[in-house]
Amino acid sequence: MARILGICGSPRREGNTAFALQYALDAVKGTHETRFLSVADHAVMPCTACGACAKTGVCPQKDDMITFYDALRWCDALVIASPVFMGMVSSQLKAVMDRCVLLRPDYEKPYELAGKVGAGIACGWFRNGGQEGTLQNIHTFLLQMHMQVLNDGAPYCHSGAAIVANAREDSLGLETVGATMRNLDRVLKGMNR
């Protein structure tokens, strides 16, 4: 049984992104341990580029980012879900991503998330509204954390999980979410997790 962390990047607690991410975690319930964390419940300030974390391994900003650090260290796999904001991830999620610079190497430690697997979910209102770009944002982040990136796998093997408009009514979008989680489950089992 692997530990799967879902990070919801929407400032709306019960919006489409939260629904799609919970749908993803429910798909592996019983098979894996899951945890849901939302930026809506945690205040995370942007990185100030002070450089302290590279020297001390600690961020001097005292906010809720500590919850994300703990959860990211805990998990074997990470699913990041974001609403599409101007064709990109939300600024709330980007703040969390930037603060993860602390989990990259400094002089004394390696990439802390190296070898973990990750996948993305993008929720936009329009078709071609920027879901693929948002997924690229998420995938780039995962790669920069030295993680392995997964998409929705065979038979689709497109850009990952993408929702258009109301997530609860987007059956094809939810199928891409389900397919992404099946792919994640397949890889985790291959890793004996």
Ligand X SMILES: Cc1cc2nc3c(=O)[nH]c(=O)nc-3n(C[C@H](O)[C@H](O)[C@H](O)COP(=O)(O)O)c2cc1C
Residues that bind ligand X (CB under 6 A): 10, 12, 15-18, 83-87, 123-126, 129-130
* 11 vs 57, beta carbon nearer ligand X: 11
State in angstroms the smallest separation of the CB of 148 from ligand X.
26
Contact, 76 vs 4, CB < 8 A?
yes
State in angstroms the smallest separation of the CB of 164 from ligand X.
8
* 16 vs 180, beta carbon nearer ligand X: 16
Rounded CA separation 193/185 (Å)? 9
State in angstroms the smallest separation of the CB of 87 from ligand X.
5
State in angstroms the smallest separation of the CB of 72 from ligand X.
21
Q: For ligand X, which residue has the nearest CB?
A: 129
* 66 vs 165, beta carbon nearer ligand X: 165
* 74 vs 126, beta carbon nearer ligand X: 126
State in angstroms the smallest separation of the CB of 123 from ligand X.
4
90 Cβ neighbours under 8 A, 6+ residues apart: 9, 10, 11, 39, 82, 83
First to last CA, the chain: 6
* 12 vs 189, beta carbon nearer ligand X: 12
Rounded CA separation 154/149 (Å)? 15
Is the bond preceding 60 in cis, omega lying within 30 degrees of 0? no
* 85 vs 141, beta carbon nearer ligand X: 85
Rounded CA separation 5/109 (Å)? 23
State in angstroms the smallest separation of the CB of 180 from ligand X.
17
Distances 98 to 22, 34, 48, 65, 74 between C-alpha atoms, Å: 24, 24, 10, 11, 19
> CA 40, 12, 117 angle in degrees (round to 5)?
65
Rg (CA), the chain: 16
